[in-house]
């Protein structure tokens, strides 16, 4: 992984959209209406950036390529679910990404020195846990989509479709608190706000329901995991290597 330093640095840069959004929010004083101060909002978006960096998943693209190239066949013979292999890759890359994310945070604090804060240890640990749970949810959803590769050749376009609600509803571009009430009434039943909004609120010290949030994350993992198991076993039965 360390071989691809520049690549990972660029990945980290491509995640800076939350900062642009922060700029729109504070520059137009939009946050006054939702009762979040400038400082809390900037912390929120910084945390959203961090959570996104450590929960981003691309398993469907790797799996699609491997499946089209016929690399999945040898993986299937091994006595280990190939998704564990991708899982390990994701974890390794997240660790390499950590220093780059820190550098970006450092620059952020240079420009916004008033928003420096130190979360207490308990909150920090809890938010690491919830970021990891968010990563697990996204990994499971994408693995389910990736399994569709057994039926269709372009599962990644379904992933691109699913990415749109994730982008707009997860809180990456605007905190969920600011959403109109007709959206807020149902959004907490979907997995989206637990992907970024909840861990980011937790880490930045904004108001949030800690036990409820983590409970919902775990609930979604319990719902998605059997689904993945099912579609995986169906898919592998259906599997015929490319070109046969």
Binding site for another protein (CB under 8 A): 4, 6-8, 10-11, 13-17, 20, 23-24, 27-30, 32-34, 152-154, 157-158, 160-161, 164-165, 167-168, 173-174, 178-180, 183
CB of 102 to another protein, least distance (A): 19
CB of 220 to another protein, least distance (A): 21
- Any idea which residue has 């840069």 for tokens? 13
In this structure, what are the phi and psi dihedrals at residue 58, rounded to the nearest 5 degrees? Answer: -135, 25
Smaller CB separation from another protein, 152 or 233: 152
Q: Residue 131: which of 156, 175, 94 has the closest Cα?
A: 94
CB of 39 to another protein, least distance (A): 16
Smaller CB separation from another protein, 1 or 13: 13
Smaller CB separation from another protein, 73 or 166: 166
Smaller CB separation from another protein, 29 or 240: 29
CB of 32 to another protein, least distance (A): 8
CB of 84 to another protein, least distance (A): 24
DSSP collapsed to 3 states, the chain: CHHHHHHHHHHHHCCCHHHHHHHHHHHCCHHHHHCCCHHHHHHHHHHHHHHHHCCCCCHHHHHHHHHHCCCHHHHHHCCCCHHHHHHHHHHHHHHHHHHHHHHHHHHHHHHCHHHCCCCCHHHHHHHHHHHHHHHHHHHHHHHHHHHHHHCCCCCHHHHHHHHHHHHHHCCCCCCHHHCCHHHHHHHCCCCHHHCCHHHHHHHHCCCCCHHHHHHHHHHHHHHHHHHHHHHHHHHHHHCCCCCC
Smaller CB separation from another protein, 34 or 124: 34
Smaller CB separation from another protein, 52 or 127: 52
Residues 150, 46: Cα–Cα separation, whole Å: 38
CB of 137 to another protein, least distance (A): 20
Smaller CB separation from another protein, 160 or 229: 160
CB of 7 to another protein, least distance (A): 5
């Amino acid at each position: 992984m360390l071989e691809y330093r520049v690549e990972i640095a660029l990945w980290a840069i491509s995640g800076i959209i939350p900062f642009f959004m922060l700029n729109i929010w504070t520059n137009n004083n939009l946050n006054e209406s939702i009762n979040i101060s400038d400082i809390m909002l900037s912390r929120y978006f910084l945390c959203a950036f961090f959570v996104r960096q450590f929960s981003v998943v691309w398993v469907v693209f790797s799996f699609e390529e491997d499946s089209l190239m016929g690399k999945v066949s040898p993986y299937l013979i091994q006595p280990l679910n190939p998704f564990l292999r991708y899982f390990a890759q994701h974890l390794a890359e997240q660790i390499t990404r950590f220093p780059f994310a820190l550098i970006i945070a450092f620059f952020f604090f240079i420009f916004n020195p008033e928003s420096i804060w130190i979360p207490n240890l308990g909150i920090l640990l809890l938010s690491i846990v919830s970021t990891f749970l968010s990563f697990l949810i996204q990994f499971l959803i994408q693995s389910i989509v990736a399994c569709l590769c057994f039926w269709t050749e372009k599962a990644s376009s379904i992933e691109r479709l699913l990415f749109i609600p994730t982008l707009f509803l997860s809180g990456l571009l605007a905190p969920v608190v600011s959403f109109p009430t007709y959206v807020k009434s149902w959004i907490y039943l979907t997995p989206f706000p637990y992907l970024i909004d909840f861990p980011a609120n937790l880490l930045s010290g904004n108001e949030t329901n800690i036990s409820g949030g983590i409970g919902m994350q775990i609930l979604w993992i319990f719902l998605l995991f059997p689904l993945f198991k099912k579609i995986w076993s169906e898919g592998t039965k259906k599997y015929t290597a490319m070109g046969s």
